[in-house]
Amino acid sequence: MLNKKFAERLILLIGLLSLAFFVNLRYLKLDYRFENFFPAKDPDLNFYYDFVKEFETDNDFFIIGVKNEKGIFKQDFLTKVDALTDSLQKIKNVAEVTSPTKLKFPVVGPIGVISVPYLHVNRPELYQKDSIRIYESQNLVGSLFSEDAKTLSLQVKHLPNLAKPPSDSLVLAIENTLQSFGFDEAHAAGKIKGQYYFTQQMVFELLLFIGVSIGLVAIFLFISFRAFWGIWVPLVVIGLSVLWMLSIMGFIDKPINLMTTLLPTILFVVGISNVVHLLERYIYELRNGKTKKEAIKTSFKEVGFATFLTSFTTAVGFFTLNTINIVPVKEFGTYTAIGVLISFLLAFSLLPSVLVITKKPKIAAQSNDGHFWTLVLHRLLMWILPNRKIVGFILLGLIGISAAGISMLKVDNFFVEDWTINEETKNDYLFFEKELSGFRPFELAVFSKDSNQTFNDYNLLVQLDSIESALHKTYQTNFIVSPLNFVKTANQSLHGGKTEYYALPSSEKEYKKLKAKFRNYKASGLNTYLNEKATKARFSSKVIDYGGHQMNLLNDEFFEKINKTIDTETIDVQITGMPYLVDKNNKNLSKNLLFGLSIAFAIVALLMAILYRSVPMIIVALIPNILPLALIAALMGFLGIDLKIATSIVFTIAFGIAVDDTIHFLSKYKIELRKHRSRLYALKRTYLQTGKAIVVTSLILSAGFLILILSQVTSTFYIGFLISLTLIFALISNLFLLPVLILFFFMPKRKKLPLA
């Protein structure tokens, strides 16, 4: 490779491959599906899919909220709502619109069953009677009508499984229609709306992160090398790594999703570490008078193995994300790990080839001895050596602080926080939290264990009523739809529409009379809440976003209540739905996190054991990198940042990256010892020669991850913020704690250390 002709041929080959990869980028797609974040190969997920097939999904809807500050019982306002309903119904792919102005209840009269509207839009003289009837109906207040009588809600059901183009068109059509009516306040929320804005945000942030990453890395490289050569060489190597990885994803039909939008930024900042370490050593050798070929050979020989180890441990850190049972997180970990290895291969093929054919950099003419970094690092080491006891006491104090903070850390997730991308869409969701019963879907499945008993039988309906009562009391929601609604509405209609009869018949005898009266009546929509054999029933609701932690407690409370009132020998009850699956994922995070970290710790420990055959060296390698993780966990506890999908992956990623500097340091220390240096002198040379690369790469990595705080996506923001802080903590730990640990475990006991 040090032959110029061979280097030129290799560069040509890599160039042709890169051109092919660039052309292949046209196959790269975007994946916006929230369903991918459900737990993979989980029995509850399979149950959910079967449930959706039998009934319907809990996500094919829009909720629209319109507010009138003067109150909803105003003719001009109700006329506009009625016109809005008609306009929405005409939009392509809208299946059904449930609107307060179209809502009716059946009444049994002399001529049969007639439908009476809850709201007589064109007869304001009846508004007072309408309002009394509505606010005496427990199933309407909090769902379609707000408690303060200023907000109405419309439920827009759209066709299921819409592809992206028609779903995007539907979002725009609904929003444009809503805006055209000029309500005092209007909000719309739904899954496909979230997907629409997420897709736009993914494309924007993908381009933003790539652009800012390039600019940021270029600035740090210029500060480090003070030469154009030191900018374009690393950027080409790392840029091609990103290009190759994205192209490979397109070729194997793996689209960019919310997680993998981070991949280019991460590869840029992680991959640059290898290049900087190699170039720093290359320039150092040139300054010591070696020829270009000798400098390249020495650099790749002495730093190469450490660079391989750091790439391997970084890849392991990402690959351990496969312990989290979520497909996008698994794929993110796998493809980023592959990208890190591709970056390593290019650093050891393209980089030396470029160095061979380019001129010796002018920066190499500077002296090593008077270099700014050498002076700073020398002074820092001279302070650390005699003050290592102070560093030890600080370590103990940080351990105590970490323990206190970690005790405050909790696993939690909020629907609004995790699925909104900006203040406007977040306000849409919060509107339904504040004015109505909430937006978060809640689904419950109830089964008859005995095929001879169905939910058309009175005794099972009584048990369903107990379940509904427990739902009301536990989750504080009025918006519940189940087979009971149809029975209660029929009973109400049989008694002249009086609201006090919106209940189950008082006896089985009365129920049989009701069934006889409505024998030939086909209730619209019943099939989405009761299966054909009437052995499975569905409860569907909207609840406040209490957060995953509180929802798990409420779920336990709910089951505790119903187990006292229902016959568990005849019916079975199971919670399902998208939010429930997400909550379940987060509930298992602690176990997944500890398992993934354990794998990463074990692999690093094994590497240290193989390289040094020393148990103390394993401790020396792990402590400076476990401490930053503990500090971040403590910080999360103190700041109230919950442990969830996004924040949990921070620990394995950060450890895999942070341990790189420790490996470079210890590898150099081992090389110095092999040259028969004294342990103290070997430590000094290691600190001075690797120190700059450690500082520069840590700052690049930290600043690179800090770019992610520009994201409108809360999860991405936390990933960037927390990993960036972890890497800064790891840098400080490596500069101050690592030398002290080496002194403690490996230096001979002396009364006084020679510092020169």
Cα distance between residue 555 and residue 314, in whole Å: 39
- Does a structural domain hold residue 181? yes
Q: Residue 199 in contact with residue 29, Cβ under 8 Å?
A: no
pLDDT surpasses 50 at 752? no
Cα distance between residue 587 and residue 555, in whole Å: 13
Q: Name the residue with tokens 């051109």.
A: 19
Rounded mean pLDDT of 715-742?
Answer: 90
Higher pLDDT, 607 or 109: 607
Q: Residue 468 in contact with residue 480, Cβ under 8 Å?
A: yes
For residues 548 and 647, membership in a common domain is answered with no
Q: Which pLDDT belongs to residue 79?
A: 95
The lowest-confidence range among 289-293, 495-499, 653-657, 666-670 is 495-499
Single out the residue in 196, 222, 246 at which a domain terminates: 196
Q: Which pLDDT belongs to residue 421?
A: 59
The pLDDT-based confidence of 744 (bands split at 50, 70, 90) is confident
The pLDDT-based confidence of 320 (bands split at 50, 70, 90) is confident
Which amino acid belongs to residue 688? L
Single out the residue in 163, 196, 229 at which a domain terminates: 196
Rounded mean pLDDT of 723-738?
Answer: 92
Higher pLDDT, 306 or 550: 550
For residues 578 and 611, membership in a common domain is answered with no
Residues 6+ apart with CB under 8 A from 640: none
The CA–CA distances, whole Å, from 497 to 136, 393, 478, 487, 500 equal 12, 77, 20, 13, 9
Cα distance between residue 553 and residue 44, in whole Å: 18
Higher pLDDT, 259 or 651: 651
- Does a structural domain hold residue 538? yes
Strands 112-117 and 104-109: antiparallel
For residues 151 and 83, membership in a common domain is answered with yes
For residues 440 and 501, membership in a common domain is answered with yes
Whole-number percent of the chain with pLDDT over 70: 93
Q: Which pLDDT belongs to residue 70?
A: 93
The lowest-confidence range among 314-323, 514-523, 637-646 is 514-523
- Does a structural domain hold residue 261? no
Residues 6+ apart with CB under 8 A from 730: 624, 625, 628, 654, 658, 661, 698
For residues 556 and 657, membership in a common domain is answered with no
Single out the residue in 553, 584, 615 at which a domain terminates: 584
Rounded mean pLDDT of 614-634?
Answer: 90
Q: Which pLDDT belongs to residue 68?
A: 94
Cα distance between residue 726 and residue 662, in whole Å: 14
Question: Which of the listed ranges 159-168, 259-268, 628-637, 741-750 does the model predict with the highest average pLDDT?
Answer: 628-637
- Does a structural domain hold residue 27? no
Q: Residue 541 in contact with residue 551, Cβ under 8 Å?
A: no
Q: Which pLDDT belongs to residue 635?
A: 93
Number of domains in the chain: 3
Q: Which pLDDT belongs to residue 108?
A: 73
Q: Residue 632 in contact with residue 399, Cβ under 8 Å?
A: no
For residues 631 and 713, membership in a common domain is answered with yes
Q: Residue 65 in contact with residue 187, Cβ under 8 Å?
A: yes
For residues 400 and 449, membership in a common domain is answered with no
pLDDT surpasses 80 at 41? no
Q: Which pLDDT belongs to residue 707?
A: 86
pLDDT surpasses 60 at 419? no
How many residues in the chain?
A: 756
For residues 606 and 696, membership in a common domain is answered with yes
Q: Residue 50 in contact with residue 339, Cβ under 8 Å?
A: no
pLDDT surpasses 80 at 549? yes
For residues 668 and 560, membership in a common domain is answered with no
| DSSP-assigned letters across all residues of 488-553 | HHHHHHHTTT-GGG-S--SSHHHHHHHHHHTTT---TTGGGTB-TTS-EEEEEEEE----HHHHHH
Per-residue HEC secondary structure of 716-748 comes to HHHHHHHHHHHHHHHHHHHHHHHHHHHHHHHCC
For residues 396 and 492, membership in a common domain is answered with no
Q: 632-644 burial, b for 16+ CB within 10 Å, e for fewer?
A: bbbbbbeeebbbb
- Does a structural domain hold residue 646? yes
Strand partners, 106: 115
Q: If you ran DSSP here, which 8-state letter would residue 712 be given?
A: S
Q: Which two tokens stand for residue 416?
A: 């609004």
Q: Which pLDDT belongs to residue 630?
A: 93
Q: Which pLDDT belongs to residue 595?
A: 83
Cα distance between residue 206 and residue 200, in whole Å: 10
- Does a structural domain hold residue 576? yes
pLDDT surpasses 70 at 520? no
- Does a structural domain hold residue 315? no
Cα distance between residue 380 and residue 692, in whole Å: 12
CATH of the domain at 730: 1.20.1640.10
Rounded mean pLDDT of 406-431?
Answer: 77
Query: Quick one: how far is CA 311 from the chain centroid?
Result: 25
Q: Which two tokens stand for residue 648?
A: 């949990």
Cα distance between residue 589 and residue 611, in whole Å: 33
The lowest-confidence range among 62-66, 164-168, 206-210, 349-353 is 206-210
Dump pLDDT digits (tens) for 67-84.
Answer: 999 999 999 999 999 999
pLDDT surpasses 50 at 533? yes
Q: Which of 106, 52, 101, 103 is nearest to 79 (CA)?
A: 101
For residue 634, what are the domain limits?
A: 373-407+588-756
Dump pLDDT digits (tens) for 338-375.
Answer: 999 998 899 888 888 888 888 877 766 666 554 677 78
Per-residue HEC secondary structure of 232-288 comes to HHHHHHHHHHHHHHHHHHHHCCCCECCCHHHHHHHHHHHHHHHHHHHHHHHHHHHHC
Cα distance between residue 125 and residue 111, in whole Å: 26
Q: Name the residue with tokens 């590869």.
A: 267
Q: Which pLDDT belongs to residue 755?
A: 41
Q: Which two tokens stand for residue 104?
A: 């009716």
Q: Which pLDDT belongs to residue 3?
A: 78
The pLDDT-based confidence of 748 (bands split at 50, 70, 90) is low
Residues 6+ apart with CB under 8 A from 520: none
616, containing H or E segment: helix 615-639
The lowest-confidence range among 83-92, 96-105, 365-374, 653-662 is 365-374
Mean pLDDT over the full length of the chain: 85
Rounded mean pLDDT of 416-427?
Answer: 67
Higher pLDDT, 559 or 521: 559
For residues 599 and 666, membership in a common domain is answered with yes
Whole-number percent of the chain with pLDDT over 90: 27
Determine phi and psi for 539, rounding to 5 degrees: -110, 125
Q: Residue 545 in contact with residue 464, Cβ under 8 Å?
A: no
Q: Which two tokens stand for residue 285?
A: 């050798």
Cα distance between residue 38 and residue 327, in whole Å: 8
The pLDDT-based confidence of 747 (bands split at 50, 70, 90) is low
CA atoms within 13 A on the CB side of 617: 16
Strand partners, 98: 155
Angle at 57 between CA 51 and CA 62, to 5 degrees: 160
Cα distance between residue 63 and residue 539, in whole Å: 18
pLDDT surpasses 60 at 753? no
Rounded mean pLDDT of 290-318?
Answer: 84
Beta strand ranges found along 60-205 (DSSP E): 61-67, 94-98, 104-109, 112-117, 151-158, 185-190
Q: Which pLDDT belongs to residue 131?
A: 92
Long-range contacts of 503-509 (CB under 8 A, 24+ apart): 504/461, 504/462, 504/465, 505/458, 508/458, 508/459
For residues 597 and 579, membership in a common domain is answered with no
- Does a structural domain hold residue 49? no
pLDDT surpasses 50 at 756? no
Dump pLDDT digits (tens) for 570-620.
Answer: 999 999 988 888 888 777 776 777 788 888 888 888 888 887 788 888 888
Cα distance between residue 214 and residue 206, in whole Å: 12
The lowest-confidence range among 29-33, 256-260, 607-611 is 29-33
The CA–CA distances, whole Å, from 660 to 314, 334, 668, 673, 727 equal 7, 19, 12, 20, 11
Q: Residue 38 in contact with residue 325, Cβ under 8 Å?
A: no
Long-range contacts of 676-681 (CB under 8 A, 24+ apart): 679/742, 679/746, 679/747, 679/748, 680/747, 680/753, 680/754
Q: Which of 739, 601, 667, 633 is nearest to 313 (CA)?
A: 601
Query: Quick one: how far is CA 68 from the chain centroid?
Result: 36
